[in-house]
Structure 1
Amino acid sequence: MIRLHRRPVAVLAVAAALAVAMAGCTPTPPPAPSAAAPEVSSSASAPSPGADGSASSPSAPALSPTGSATENLPLFTQVVAEVWGGAEQVSGRAYIDALDAAGFDKTAMQVTPDQTVIGNPAESIEFSVRWGEECLVGQVGPSIGDPVTAVLPGLSTGDCLIGQTRPIDW
């Protein structure tokens, strides 16, 4: 003879009731990203209306001599994007000159050659500005696609780039 126990039936009934009750629940959405999260690159945003209803442009990035490399990355990125949008996209000198004109210290810069050792155009060029213990680094070229900018740790040698760089003697 088979005996039925009331306890397992009661457990199943409670489990079924919980399943029905929870079927209407929806998961809680994840929290919004923190406004304090640093951005790796900067992009232009759409103008917002001013108090008088006219369009006002967002504030342009500016050099902060006492700021960190991360705080100066938006200006570095903007300068790189402007040169990339011009006729001298793969000219290291154009990036160095534009960064210098924006106020970055030319004596703290490095740039790789525009040509390979056999005289062909470089597939990419890199350039940097040493900023304290860190480096603002950019990379552009046909093999890269859109320009890349980042803040990276400085090398123990005091440089930012590994490998052969060219003198900035202009």
Structure 2
Amino acid sequence: MKNLVWGGVVVVLLAVGGYGLTGALQGLDLSPAPQASGPASSASSPSPTPSASTTPTAVSLARFDPSAPASANLELFKRALDKAAQSTPASSVEGKTLTDALAGVGFSGAAMQQSADRTSANLQAPTLMVSVRVGAQCLVGQFVRSDASVSTEIAAPIQTGACLIGRQAPVS
């Protein structure tokens, strides 16, 4: 029931507010409630302390690396979108601005998708979405024109294999 209610809220936000999927879902916890395990399992085993060998190290890529973890490529993806958003007036940012920035750091144009720059009423889109298919995952970014903010996430592709829903603008 909880997921159905949140699903309705997301649909309303998408239809009315123009927030885009990433903005509408930000901050929502849609994960199922944790399953309680037996009382002995959690109380009897102390949690391990991280050692130097198990602590993850941050990887900062300068160019797209298909063999790097998705999180490292996501960081590069976000940095490229942030740079494009900050170096261009918000009213002038188009999908091509964002995809060109991604291509500039090595993401393949053939693996990219972008949302339309204009709404069906021929108004400037309040949000722009871009994605890059990387293996079995999608790096998805959203630019919000009103505050020139960028948000990114790793997502599974939709059933068609694409990363975004809707009309896809050609990416050069």
TM-score computed with the length of structure 2 as normaliser: 0.60
- Deviations along 1:66-119, one digit per CA (max 9) or x if unpaired, are 123222111101101100102254310011111111100110100001111121
> Who is 2:121 aligned against?
118
CA contact (8 A) 2:95 2:117 kept: yes
Corresponding residue for residue 70 of structure 2? 69
Equivalent AA in structure 2 for residue 153 of structure 1: A
Q: Say what the alpha-carbon RMSD is for the aligned residues.
A: 2.6
The whole-number CA distance in structure 2 between the counterparts of 1:67 and 1:60 is 9
Partners of 1:113 and 1:88 in 2: CA distance:
18
Contact 2:61 2:73 in 1 (8 A): no
Question: In structure 2, which of residues 26, 33, 56 is the aligned counterpart of residue 36 of structure 1?
Answer: 56
Q: Which is further off, 122-131 or 60-69? A: 60-69
2: CA distance, partners of 1:35 / 1:68:
15
Amino acid aligned to 2:56: A
**1:142 aligned residue (127, 134, 145):** 145
Q: Do the aligned residues in 2 keep the contact of 1:61 with 1:74 (CA within 8 Å)?
A: no
Q: Tell me the matched-pair count.
A: 119
Gapped runs of 5+ residues in structure 1? Answer: 1-30, 43-58
Which protein shows a greater Rg?
Answer: 1
TM-score w.r.t. length of structure 1: 0.61
Runs of 4+ with >3 A deviation: 59-62
User: Which residue does the alignment assign to 1:3?
Assistant: none
* Residue 142 (structure 1) shift: 2.4
- Partners of 2:69 and 2:140 lie apart in 1 by 14
For residues 45-64 of structure 1, the aligned pairs below 5 Å read: 61-64=62-65
Question: In structure 2, the residue corresponding to 1:139 is in which secondary structure?
Answer: strand
Tell me if 1:167 matches 2:163: no
Gaps in structure 2 of 5+ consecutive residues: 1-48
Q: Distance in 2 between matches of 1:141 and 1:154?
A: 22
Q: Which has the higher contact order (CA 8 A, sep 6+)?
A: 2
Corresponding letter in the other structure for 1:163 = G
Distance 2:85 2:55 in 1: 29
Q: C-alpha separation between the residues in 2 aligned to 1:87 and 1:144? A: 13
